[in-house]
Amino acid sequence: MSETLGFIGLGNMGEPIAANLLQAGYTLRVYNRTASKAAQLAAKGATVVPRPEDVAVAGGIVLTMLADDQAIEGVCLPAGSFVERLGSGGVHVSISTIAPASARRLAEHHAKYKVAYVATPVFGRPEAAAAKRLWICTSGDATARKRVMPILAAIGQGTFEFGDDPGAANVVKLCGNFMIASAIEALAEALTLAEKNGVNKKDVAELFGKTLFACPVYQGYGKQISEEKFLPAGFRLALGLKDISLALQTAASSSVPMPLASLLRDRWMTAVAKGRADMDWTAVALGVAEDAGLKPVAANTNEGK
């Protein structure tokens, strides 16, 4: 590939996604708030720039993988941003999980500069990103979506399109993360029930992961919860709380009751209040165990040290 892409945000997900784009032959200009995190990509041929706006090439494509609405607005909205530098014909590919309403506002802002906004939130943890096994949801301008399809093919195993509404892909992403959080809570409760009654929870997780719930979410998270391996975080618990809160916010704006999501928000909020924000979001299982009078293995949580 001869096209130069801009990339902003080189965290647990952004770095392996950017590395796969380099491997696919794209030329990358990258920015990360903590510059040292770009060192590995620089060694692979990426150009590291000092400011987020410097990643943009006029009429080109910039991808962002940032933590939340505030972070993405912080690089898109200021005067002289990369959006302005992209200008007419430019495309912004937003991989972040943000509120659908935020995506729509960003699309309106981009249109002032004749830049297309394409939402492309992904399902998959860092190991899936590294292996190009992400599942991608996309929505936004149809012409821009078509243009970025080869890029998405270089980082994922499949892309599902949800039309021209720039917020639609984020609605789908929030639906998915709500269901994953529900599965984590169900696993935590079931495995705690087994453990409290003298049954090996690792064996229980293996049984259900191979039979009734033979799918990646139950298999991966069931193993993680049963082994109490919550560090390092593949997906930070604080980000899980953010996504559940966004799902409830979107539900409220469209008059959709979600009582289970309210329960999940309280569980995740309690975990954050207990200092677990930077642990994997499966660490909410610690709260389930504590409610049952069980004590977690401190060696796997950094707690009690």
Q: Which residue in this structure is represented by tokens 């920015």?
A: 31
Stated as kind and residue range, the H or E segment containing 280 is none
Taking the C-alpha atoms of residue 13 and residue 30, their distance in angstroms, rounded to an integer, is: 14
Q: Which of 180, 200, 77, 52 lies closest to 122, judged by CA?
A: 180
Taking the C-alpha atoms of residue 15 and residue 277, their distance in angstroms, rounded to an integer, is: 21
The pair of three-digit structure tokens given for residue 273, joined into one six-digit string: 């209040």
Helix extents (H) in the chain: 14-23, 39-43, 69-76, 82-86, 100-111, 126-130, 142-153, 168-196, 201-210, 216-226, 237-253, 259-273, 284-291
Radius of gyration of the chain (CA): 20
The answer to whether the CB of 8 falls within 8 A of the CB of 62 is yes
The pair of three-digit structure tokens given for residue 40, joined into one six-digit string: 């590995």
Taking the C-alpha atoms of residue 73 and residue 70, their distance in angstroms, rounded to an integer, is: 5
The answer to whether the CB of 171 falls within 8 A of the CB of 250 is yes
Q: Which of 187, 197, 261 lies closest to 226, judged by CA?
A: 187
Peptide bond before residue 257 is cis, with ω within 30 degrees of 0: no
The pair of three-digit structure tokens given for residue 70, joined into one six-digit string: 């505030």
Residues annotated catalytic, as ranges: 173
